[in-house]
Amino acid sequence: MALKPARLQWSDDGQLRSLDYGDVYFQLKKGLDESRYVYLDGNKLAERFEKCQTAFHIAETGFGSGLNFLLTAQLFAKAAPSHARLVYASIEKHPVTRADLETIYAHFGELSPWSQPLLQQYPPLIEGFHTLHFMNGRIRLILLLGDIADVLPQLQGKFDAWHLDGFAPKYNPDMWTENVYAQVAARTKAGGTVASFSSAGHVRRGLAAAGFAVKKVKGFGFKWSSTTAMMPGEAMPAPTLKKVAVLGAGIAGSSAAYALAMRGHAVTLIDRHNGTAEETSGNPVGIVYPKLTADASPMGVYHGHAFSFARGLLSDLKLPSWRACGVTHLDMDAGEVQKTTQILLNNEFPVDYAQICEGGYRQPMAGFLSPPEFCARLASHPNITKQFAAPVENIEQMADGWVIQGTTYDAVVIALGNSSKDFSQTKWLPLQSLRGQITMLTPTATSATLDHVICHEGYITPLQDGFHCIGATFQKEEAGMPDTRAADDLENLANLNEHLPQFGFDATHFAGSRSGYRATTPDKLPMAGTCADYARYIAANPQVRGGAAVAETPRLQGLYVSTGFGAHGMTGAPLAGEIIAAEISGDPLPVPIDLAERLMPERFIARALKRREI
């Protein structure tokens, strides 16, 4: 759902004011100094960054113009060890538009190394979690766009510091409530801190009632005082780096391996083939776009988050093959016209995210790239050791970890598509195999000018390396050795010519084809997370057969699954890898809690119990 953007006004004295709340974001000549004093100094970030050995987590209520984040990132880059990471989660109900941010940041040239990447990755103003990458992934900004009452309960993770920076309580009381303080406290580590410009009595009392030790301190400039607070208790040791095996070097496995390697883990990427992207992920073109739904269904929520994450990652990677050229979806009949109209009316998407066009709708931020290039780039991370031509037939859980081919790992990620169910621990996974074939075409005079992807019942891409890619067929078949079929090329061509006859293709334009077996699931959502212990799960939850809720969720600790993406692996698998890496690392999740739960593999055991199928 689209959000109402912030309405701004510059005053004659250089203050940036919110017309929605009647309060100021900052004073032009003093804004940076005030933020440094209240938030960076108030949370003692400089000295804490210097001592950071793994990751530092900060959360903020009120992203506003983003100055607190930019200053925090600047300080982290200067003070923290080169191996340390920063995760910064910030909530905003009325985000500032990109155009307004450009105007604001023009006044703060010293922050351009941080503000320019932020502008390049700035998300469409729609509800959800949006991850932005800085310093080759060392710094992650997770923008939580939406009302704090909805968003904060969905934020999973423990934080070292908080910037409480909503507009003043008298202007924006919804951000300064007992419930907000309790939610903040529940997400603060022992020894974690809070800093706020506000010193209102009810703010200090609310923080104290939530469990913080609160101090009233000297304010900045004309303000008499501000607030700092600390969560009592002995700080827990930082999570240790792990030795992780990732099975499968396609899009899913490479994404998980990269996300783990970026966090400093020692990753071994294992594949039965001689390199990355040798199966379906080896297709020359992968389209990246979000599937839209009329309501906030799990499918629509998942695709929105997946696309946002993939887009941010691709911006950071700067792959030569990535082309954000836009994707047009043609309506096939009157029913689809009505569906498209309903989707866009219900969601009121920003025009840069989705807009009506002649014959359908267009997604300007979407595009395509080379999956083989993507996988190779991710797998080249120095923390990743590659073992190719190394098929894995079994994995064994021991007291000290998981054993694969004689080597013990702290964790294992299975990302083998349909073969993810080939182990004794995962044979219950309800994966379904769908064969697909794509066809490459040499251009016609008309098609050579195509500058964006067009989806109909199939799709056609602009020229890439001298040919178009069209497809793809869908056949329910058990996975086997991929073969190409002349009948499938003819089917792809006929489908294209039925909907886009103006390009004038015929069989003389065939330039090759490629086939593979997609893995999908009964509910069309992927599986991303810890693998359930099937036998223990069933034994622990017999009451589910009678309609009661799941009481216990036994899981195989250290064993993770990333599979079931169907035809949308290029959009969805990077987010799945990030979710798993965050779980292994103790980082805040990049998605709402309820979405992460919907992606857990165990959901299928619970459903089978409820239906009395097991």
List pLDDT tens digits, range 34-61.
899 999 999 999 999 999 989 999 999 9
Q: What is the DSSP letter of 380?
A: T
413-441: average pLDDT: 97
Torsion of CA 552, 557, 563, 565, to 10 degrees: 50
Whether the predicted pLDDT of 604 surpasses 80:
yes
pLDDT value of residue 28: 63
pLDDT value of residue 383: 97
For residue 477, count CB atoms less than 10 angstroms from its CB and return exposed for 0-12, middle for 13-18, buried for 19 or more.
exposed
The tens digit of pLDDT for each residue in 586-599 reads 999 999 999 999 99
pLDDT band at 170; cut points 50, 70, 90: confident
Domains of the chain: 8-230 (3.40.50.150)
262-276: average pLDDT: 97
Whether the predicted pLDDT of 23 surpasses 80:
no
The tens digit of pLDDT for each residue in 59-69 reads 999 999 999 99
The tens digit of pLDDT for each residue in 203-238 reads 999 999 999 999 988 877 666 688 999 999 988 887
In what order do the strands lie in the sheet containing 213-218? Answer: 128-134, 139-145, 85-92, 55-61, 159-164, 188-196, 225-230, 213-218
pLDDT value of residue 27: 65
The tens digit of pLDDT for each residue in 119-130 reads 999 999 999 999
Q: What secondary structure does DSSP assign to 166-218, as a single string?
A: SSPTTT-GGGSSHHHHHHHHHTEEEEEEEEES---HHHHHHHHHTT-EEEEEE
Instruction: Answer for the pair 587, 239: CB distance below 8 angstroms, yes or no.
Output: no
Do the bridges between strand 510-520 and strand 453-455 make them parallel or antiparallel, or are there none, so unpaired?
A: unpaired
Cα 2 from Cα 19, distance rounded (Å): 19
For residue 24, list its beta bridge partners: 17
Whether the predicted pLDDT of 93 surpasses 70:
yes
Instruction: Answer for the pair 514, 437: CB distance below 8 angstroms, yes or no.
Output: yes
Task: Report which residue type is found at 30.
Answer: K
Cα 511 from Cα 495, distance rounded (Å): 17
Question: How large a percentage of the chain has pLDDT more than 70?
Answer: 98
100-116: average pLDDT: 92
Torsion of CA 548, 552, 558, 561, to 10 degrees: 0
Do the bridges between strand 243-247 and strand 266-270 make them parallel or antiparallel, or are there none, so unpaired?
A: parallel
pLDDT value of residue 175: 86
For residue 508, count CB atoms less than 10 angstroms from its CB and return exposed for 0-12, middle for 13-18, buried for 19 or more.
exposed
The neighbour count for residue 351, using CB atoms within 10 Å, is: 11
Task: Report which residue type is found at 432.
Answer: Q
Phi and psi torsions of 460, nearest 5° = -140, 140
Do the bridges between strand 85-92 and strand 139-145 make them parallel or antiparallel, or are there none, so unpaired?
A: parallel
User: Which stretches does DSSP call E strand in 364-409?
Assistant: 367-369, 384-387, 396-398, 401-404, 407-409
Whether the predicted pLDDT of 29 surpasses 90:
no
Whole-model pTM?
0.95
574-578: average pLDDT: 98
- How would you classify residue 276: left for phi > 0, otherwise alpha for psi between -120 and 50, otherwise beta? beta
Task: Report which residue type is found at 168.
Answer: A
Cα 384 from Cα 555, distance rounded (Å): 26
Cα 545 from Cα 606, distance rounded (Å): 9
568-576: average pLDDT: 97
Cα 365 from Cα 327, distance rounded (Å): 8
Q: What secondary structure does DSSP assign to 47-74, as a single string?
A: HHHHH-SSEEEEEEE--TTSHHHHHHHH
Q: Of 463, 588, 602, 614, nearest to 88 (Cα)? A: 588
How many residues belong to the chain?
614
